[in-house]
Amino acid sequence: MAAINGEPTENKLATGQRGTLQLRLRTKGIAAHSGTPDLGRSAIWPLLDWLQRLRELPTATDAELGPEVWNLGILHGGGAPNVVPASAEASLLVRSLPESRFLALVRELAPAEGSVDQLSFTPPERFPTIAGFPHAAVTFGSDAPRLRRLVPSQQVALCGPGTIRVAHTLDEHITGTELRAGCELLVALAENFLQSNQS
């Protein structure tokens, strides 16, 4: 028995996926009137400096999974233009690698008034290749690690039609040709898994 997780992999079997680590970075300041900023302390400036230090870090890379990348998805601070902001926060999503040091570095580079919350974490995974099927690394996460735990053989294939290059964009689509090739791939995979179980 095996599981197939459908994702836009350009009809290639994924060799693995990077982990997903969600972090919330927070900084605190002291509110004051913008006309007397010396009476307060902005929470935004140290957060921006913190993020810049993270941007300057060298990029870790895995030969199979690719580079470790992170995205600043949400940045929020203050409540009004005429008030020195007393709080600020940033939400990051990290596509993490095995033995990642990113979280440790975030903590090491934090300002005195900064704090870090780990909101969620899915570890990176590697998937076996199957002879006769094209394969490639993917840049995104999926439910394949969770599905893998549902089957006794722990065998999972991550594949499907379409490309991640247009995912989450206004141009997101799958062509009829890609869909037809995807159906053929799924049938071939299912037959391969059934034959493996019988042998």
Per-residue pLDDT of the chain (199 residues; tens, 9 = 90+): 788 999 999 999 999 999 999 999 999 999 999 999 999 999 999 999 999 999 999 999 999 899 999 999 999 999 999 999 999 999 999 999 999 999 999 999 999 999 999 999 999 999 888 899 999 988 888 888 888 888 888 888 999 999 999 988 999 999 999 999 999 999 999 998 888 766 5
**Residue 37 sits in the same domain as residue 113:** yes
Contacts of residue 192, Cβ cutoff 8 Å, sequence gap at least 6 = 130, 132, 133
- Among 74, 102, 122, the domain boundary falls at 122
pTM of the entire predicted model: 0.83
Q: Which of 13, 134, 167 is nearest to 3 (CA)?
A: 13
Range of the domain at 167: 3-18+124-198
Report the number of distinct structural domains present in the chain. 2
**Residue 23 sits in the same domain as residue 117:** yes
Please state, as a whole number, how many other Cβ atoms lie within 10 Å of the Cβ of residue 39.
Answer: 11
